[in-house]
């Protein structure tokens, strides 16, 4: 009988050990700025995430990501876009990459929405296309 309160206490401590602090400004209703780069391959990222949904509206790109390692209160998602226009058989596009950084690889699986402000990237451009590595579709903005 005495083991139930002890087990309950241990369970509460274990569940509370993974904090659910805000991940970035994007999860608090403000969008992170897109970062511009000339070489997406030089960036390092934890690959323990997948993009579940991507959509663009006005100057905002919204991504829904599933990821592990959510116990680190300081983990981040950043969107980098190569400012060199690329072209294939369908149309010109820009290539992007999401960089995920964490220091705690707990096994908790998270699903969160992140938004990124495209205004600095667009720089007066009214429309275009972005292909983000790890996402199957082209995103029009």
Going from N- to C-terminal start, the domains of the chain cover 19-140
Q: Does the global pTM surpass 0.85?
A: no
Domain 19-140 bears CATH identifier 2.60.40.2370 = yes
pLDDT per residue, tens digit, the chain (141 aa), is 566 555 454 544 444 444 433 334 444 458 999 999 999 999 988 778 899 999 999 889 999 999 886 677 888 899 999 988 898 877 899 999 999 988 877 777 888 899 999 988 887 777 889 999 999 999 998
Nearest CA-CA partner of 24 in 53, 59, 63, 58: 63
Nearest CA-CA partner of 65 in 133, 4, 112, 7: 112
Chain-centroid distance of CA 3 in Å reads: 42
Q: Is the dihedral of CA 99, 19, 25, 113 positive or negative?
A: positive
């Amino acid at each position: 009988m005495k083991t139930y309160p002890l087990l309950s206490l241990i369970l509460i401590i274990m569940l509370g050990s993974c904090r659910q602090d805000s991940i970035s400004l994007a999860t608090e209703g403000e969008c992170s700025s897109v970062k511009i780069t000339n070489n997406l391959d030089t960036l390092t990222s934890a690959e323990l995430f997948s993009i579940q949904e991507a959509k663009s509206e006005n100057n905002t790109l919204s991504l829904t990501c599933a990821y592990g390692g959510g116990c680190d209160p300081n983990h981040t998602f950043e969107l980098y876009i190569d400012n060199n226009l690329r072209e294939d058989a369908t149309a010109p596009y820009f290539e992007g990459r999401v960089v995920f950084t964490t220091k705690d690889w707990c096994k908790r699986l998270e699903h969160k929405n992140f938004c990124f402000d495209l205004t600095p990237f667009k720089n007066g451009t009214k429309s275009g296309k972005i292909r983000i590595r790890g996402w199957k579709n082209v995103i029009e903005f």
